[in-house]
């Protein structure tokens, strides 16, 4: 197949390229050439064509060409998605939109599926992306793609995407911190379920869905069975050959000390939002989505992280200094 990827050089996009090439497809990338422009160079990437432009008004490089499918990895503003979708409507058979489970309106209950209520914006013309607007904007992006290519859109709603080249570090924090050993502050309820998907599993499954021409909406996160936080941490400790020990602190303590959920303490969310970690992905699993062992994801992520510059600072997770202060306070030794 001949595939077009909007983006293609950052995290999800780069793994989609690798997955497509491994399946013998040809790939065209369309982006501004500002992030990782030297990726996919050399004879081994002869099947990759790179086009330069800007989704916001500079799409000339896409005109007059045809592809079997386009995968949109970087659509955040509905107006811009509308522009690309309308342009490509007569040039592709299928439009794949990478959305997010953040589209849902209510995360207070477990079992959210593809038919659950979606978030809405009071002002649909807003284009500023914030924690509050991100999900509802993605809803409007999905609608823009479907309006341009009715019945020809595959909408994928991933949860937290993890693994090598993750720029957010929201999963990476845990393998890195646990590998360092010592006393490790761990959040809330050990039985709280956590969900995420290895970017490589997401990429392989996405390409499979393109190959069979499957359209519709799919939640895509994992694993296939519930994963309590305790088992996640224990598995990560085993996979990193670490000897640290976990100190569980209460959710009330975290909230009293203004520890930011999912940012300072990755994977932890307050009970009122626990549904974001208990999304129903059975539809995608029935459609062939599979998940590699957690230990493999942990080791691959840590190996990649260790190749970064030695002075690199993680973008997520609490600092060691704040962690030590919180642990001392928890133990009552902060005098």
pLDDT digits (tens, 9 = 90+) for 305-333: 999 999 999 999 999 999 999 999 999 96
2-158: CATH topology is Rossmann fold (3.40.50)
Closest by Cα among 21, 27, 10, 23 to 44:
21
For residues 243 and 240, give the distance between their C-alpha atoms in angstroms, rounded to a whole number: 9
For residues 296 and 272, give the distance between their C-alpha atoms in angstroms, rounded to a whole number: 31
Percent of all residues in the chain with a pLDDT value above 70, rounded to a whole number: 99
Q: Is the pLDDT of residue 229 over 90?
A: yes
Residue 151: band (very low, low, confident or very high) from pLDDT cuts 50, 70, 90: very high
Closest by Cα among 64, 58, 61, 63 to 50:
61
Looking at the chain, the domain(s) classified CATH 3.90.25.10 span 173-195+225-275+293-330
3-state secondary structure of 48: strand
* pLDDT, tens digit, 9 for 90 and up, residues 156-212: 999 999 999 999 999 999 999 999 999 999 999 999 999 999 999 999 999 999 999
Looking at the chain, the domain(s) classified CATH 3.40.50.720 span 2-158
173-195+225-275+293-330: CATH topology is UDP-galactose 4-epimerase; domain 1 (3.90.25)
Tokens 């509905």, residue located: 78
């Amino acid at each position: 197949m001949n595939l077009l990827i909007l983006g293609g050089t950052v995290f999800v996009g780069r793994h989609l390229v690798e997955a497509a090439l491994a399946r013998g497809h040809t790939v065209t990338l369309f982006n501004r050439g500002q992030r990782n422009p030297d990726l996919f160079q050399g004879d081994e990437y002869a099947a990759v064509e790179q086009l330069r432009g800007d989704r916001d008004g500079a799409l000339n490089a896409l005109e007059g060409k045809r592809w079997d499918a386009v995968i949109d990895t970087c659509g955040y503003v509905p107006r811009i998605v509308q522009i690309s979708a309308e342009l490509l409507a007569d040039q592709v058979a299928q439009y794949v939109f990478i959305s997010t489970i953040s589209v849902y309106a209510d995360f207070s209950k477990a079992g959210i599926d593809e038919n659950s209520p979606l978030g809405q914006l009071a002002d649909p013309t807003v284009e500023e992306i914030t924690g509050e607007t991100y999900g509802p904007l993605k809803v409007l992006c999905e609608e823009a793609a479907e309006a341009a290519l009715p019945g020809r859109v595959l909408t994928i709603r991933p949860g937290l995407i993890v693994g090598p080249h993750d720029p957010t570090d929201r999963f990476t924090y845990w393998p890195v911190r646990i590998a360092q050993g010592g006393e490790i502050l761990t959040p809330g309820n050990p039985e709280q379920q956590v969900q995420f998907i290895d970017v490589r599993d997401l990429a392989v499954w996405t390409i499979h869905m393109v190959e069979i021409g499957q359209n519709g909406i799919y939640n895509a996160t994992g694993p296939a069975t519930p994963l309590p936080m305790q088992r996640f941490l224990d598995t990560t400790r085993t996979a990193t050959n670490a000897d640290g020990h976990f100190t569980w602190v209460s959710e009330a303590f975290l909230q009293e000390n203004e520890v930011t959920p999912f940012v300072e303490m990755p994977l932890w969310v307050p009970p009122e939002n626990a549904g974001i970690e208990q999304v129903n992905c059975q539809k995608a699993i029935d459609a062939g989505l599979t998940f590699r062992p957690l230990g493999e994801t942990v080791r691959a992520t840590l190996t990649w992280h260790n190749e970064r510059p030695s002075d690199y600072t993680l973008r997520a997770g609490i600092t060691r200094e704040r962690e030590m202060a919180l642990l001392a306070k928890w133990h009552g030794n902060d005098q």
